[in-house]
Chains A and B, each alone.
Chain A
């Protein structure tokens, strides 16, 4: 039991930054993000047996967080393991970003018109920096299915941007690509 606890604590320390970032990037309010983080790790503790080791733990947790997020907005989340401090720490992450430039706001609006599935696959690439194999693990799909989804999502996003005639900010303001797919 203590070894389980030690293992969980190690995974928690290792993945907390990424899971909170995942939640904060997708939730409209710090309270929602705190809920998602709390619920995700609670589920992980209850399902320790399934929690994989090493790098795979983060992918597995992303998958859990994704389902928690979906349920959260369906109002099925009743657990409130979060605390005032956690809310405040999440709120800190909302203060600094994102860039509130006009163009970015317009782009964000268009991004939000995409389907949940399109947004998720685009975000997992661009925000979490995952490759196809990793996304396949998170979403429980085959690598090929991810490739097709990603291709279609990019196409739909590009088309929506073109239709809205959004002009792009200087390339230098964008974060350089770390990985190309």
Chain B
């Protein structure tokens, strides 16, 4: 028999991709498309969980059959109000409350419903252009993740009100959810201890921010026709360098759950990793040739700049 090393070298020579070498690159378009299509679905654990729990659920069902049937508690006033209330507050048996607000002036209705469902909340309505004088209490700095979602559109009914999700189990004793709502403006602050009543005051006119940058990839702009969204920094840079652009980076902060929208963590000219993700390119309005890439250090399930695919928002 030939010796072991010889057999192994012969086998190695048969490899289509040389041993030790990678096949495809995860940054390639096909690899990224695949990753996106896989993670577009719910991951396994969330799907598999009910199956694993089946025996336990059976036992529970025997112990208190009525309890499971009433998984969702609906505030009595909602039932009284009829089918299309200005507020809808529902509470799952796991303590998660869903609030939908359509009419912004019926504060009493919402307050009552929240109280019925034992959500520690205080709601105030202020007329447009007003706000409650702050501070009304002690702000909670350490907000547990998942306590509430940022207000978002009601699915299938955009533009009319908003909805949010609150996990009442995560409230600590003495904490109150302080809401100030108004047309087109909602403030949600978690506070600790006693809370002063709302004293309306004029809301300062939003300062007109002198915009320094605008989207660069639109028709007539400096990068017209170039698509950078959802690509990696490594893929985008060669083209920009070819065009002689001076490049800066806006590092985006993405709120939990990536509901669409982003904050600015910092702007820097120091290069970021080639595997960072670009979501859009902006150009400086006053300094031609300066391009600012909106980037995150990892890929998200949808473009935070547009709350989804760029093509759904920009039609050219």
A residues neighboring B (CB under 8 Å): 1-2, 4-6, 8-9, 12-13, 16-25, 33-34, 37-38, 41-42, 45-49, 81-90, 93-94, 97-99, 104, 107-108, 111, 122-123, 125-129, 154-155, 157-159, 161-162, 168-169, 171, 173-178, 180-181
Contacts and interface: CB of A to CB of B under 8 A. Distances in A.
B256 interface: yes
Contacts of A42: 38
Interface stretch (B21-29, B147-155, B179-187, B305-313): B21-29
Interface string B1-32: 11011111111111111111111111011110
7 shortest interchain CB distances as A-B pairs: A17-B22, A20-B23, A86-B30, A85-B30, A21-B23, A126-B11, A46-B44
Given A42-B38, A175-B13, A16 B298 contact: no
Contacts of B115: none
Contacts of A93: 16-17, 23-24
B24 A17 contact: yes
Contacts of B103: none
A165 to B, nearest CB: 13
Interface string B25-49: 1101111011101110111111110
Do most interface residues of chain A lie in helix, strand or loop, or is the interface mixed?
helix
Contacts, number: 195
A41 to B, nearest CB: 6
Nearest to B45: A49
B4 A161 contact: no
A47 B299 contact: no
A86 B23 CA distance: 12
Given A81-B34, A174-B13, 16 more contacts: A16-B31, A22-B23, A33-B23, A45-B41, A45-B43, A83-B33, A93-B16, A94-B16, A111-B11, A125-B11, A126-B15, A126-B19, A127-B11, A162-B2, A174-B12, A181-B4
A81 B24 contact: no
Contacts of A111: 11, 14
A41 B24 CA distance: 14
B298 A48 contact: no
Contacts of A48: 43-45
Given A46-B44, A111-B14, A178-B20, A9 B28 contact: no
A158 B135 CA distance: 82
A175 B18 contact: yes
Interface residues of B, number: 50
B12 A126 contact: yes
Given A25-B16, A178-B19, A49 B5 contact: no
Contacts of B258: 2
A31 B169 CA distance: 50
B1 A107 contact: no
Contact of B7 (A5, A19, A20, A158): A158
B257 interface: yes
B192 interface: no
A22 B20 CA distance: 11
B256 to A, nearest CB: 7
Contact of B19 (A2, A94, A127, A162): A127
